[in-house]
Chains A and B, each alone.
Chain A
Amino acid sequence: MNTQASTTPTAGTRRRNGRSSFTEGCVDSIPVCLTFMFLFFSIGAACNEAGFTSLQALTMTFTVHAAPLQVFVAQHGASLTVMSILFTTLVVNFRFLIMSSVLTEHFKGVPLWKVLLSAQLLSISTFTLSNTKKGLIENIYNYYLGCGVSTLLVAIFATGLGFWVSGEQNPFLQSIIGVILPIHFTVLASLAWPRLKPMIATGAGFALTPIVGRYLHDYQIFVVPFLLGGALLLWDEMVERKAQ
């Protein structure tokens, strides 16, 4: 297994390895890029419908780079407060904390400023690819950059395309584009199988939204996750106590 610590390549070799790792990251992320084409296309369309300008839609993809949060912002728009965005960001993007911690371990030896600068490229997809390839790639940091740069560029391009096309599409096409995002997120949530609780939490979040939404409207976004998180945690505790 070749790692940065176990080899002492020359500067030229390091540069070549760096390049090939970067390219390999770009190539491996092609399926993700294709998925992002659909996903961010629908986000671009959603931003257009929600009254965002094209510059705002592109800026949001570049700076937020987290599809669920972008959809939330587009869906709720002006009714949001600073606290509500901060809470939702913490809840929706909490995995970034864990993923970033894991990758920090992989990137030991890379200057801190470089890691901080490239933190924006972190997504579920770039993390999954980089984490899977750890130990199989000469320079895992450059591999991560390859994945991140290619997927982010595609995301920005697709957002612009979705924003531009959404105004001219027919109802049939609009209907199809409208289901891309929910299907994609459903697939991501379903990958948790056979772990039951994440599936239950997603299904319950889905089912409770119209029920709680009827009475609490936009506030349901805070109530439902708290209820589910608390209920499943209680379930954990009860199971542990029974086991004891």
Chain B
Amino acid sequence: MNNWTLILVASVASYALRAMPILIFHKLPIAADGLMYRFLNYAAFGVMGGIIYSALLGDTYYDHWAGHFQSPDSLLKLSTLCLAVIIAARWRGVFKTLFICLGYFTAMTFFLGA
């Protein structure tokens, strides 16, 4: 599939998800504790975890799992994510956490030459 087709399919599907409730569920209550809702909600967080991994480390360590803990670059990235989890869960600021973690990553990369 070429890039334009990819964009078209993703665009139409995304818009449909945004617009469908306006047309269909306008007057219907949604069961937030229903099976399908909960399944997709959990799955969405799982996808999010996968995206975070791929964006951070790519497929470099697919065949060498121990490499996650041997490479200084990988360790620094993983420690940055741990820091982000702790700060975001404790103080809840998106922008603040982003800046602190970027500062940490930049400083450590600079000093360690990772």
Contact = CB atoms under 8 A, between A and B. Distances in A.
Nearest to B82: A186
A211 B3 contact: no
Contacts of B94: 31, 35, 184, 187-188, 191
* Residue of B15, B17, B59 contacting most chain A CB atoms (<10 Å): B17
A135 interface: no
A75 to B, nearest CB: 6
B62 A92 contact: no
* Residue of B7, B25, B43, B110 contacting most chain A CB atoms (<10 Å): B43
B26 to A, nearest CB: 6
B55 A181 contact: yes
Secondary structure dominating the interface of A: helix
B48 A68 contact: yes
A94 B44 contact: yes
* Residue of A65, A179, A180, A188 contacting most chain B CB atoms (<10 Å): A179
B21 A97 contact: yes
Given A31-B94, A97-B21, A191-B92, A201 B45 contact: yes
Interface residues of B, number: 70
Contacts of A72: 47, 51
Interface in A150-188: 172, 175-176, 178-188
B56 A179 contact: yes
Contacts of B109: 172, 175-176
Given A72-B51, A182-B81, A198 B42 contact: yes
A112 interface: yes
Interface stretch (A3-11, A115-123, A138-146): A115-123
Interface in B1-26: 1-4, 6-7, 9-11, 13-15, 17-23, 25-26
Given A182-B81, A193-B88, A225-B46, 6 more contacts: A71-B54, A94-B44, A210-B57, A214-B65, A224-B47, A232-B38
10 contacts: A63-B10, A92-B51, A93-B13, A179-B102, A187-B98, A192-B45, A204-B49, A205-B50, A210-B61, A224-B49
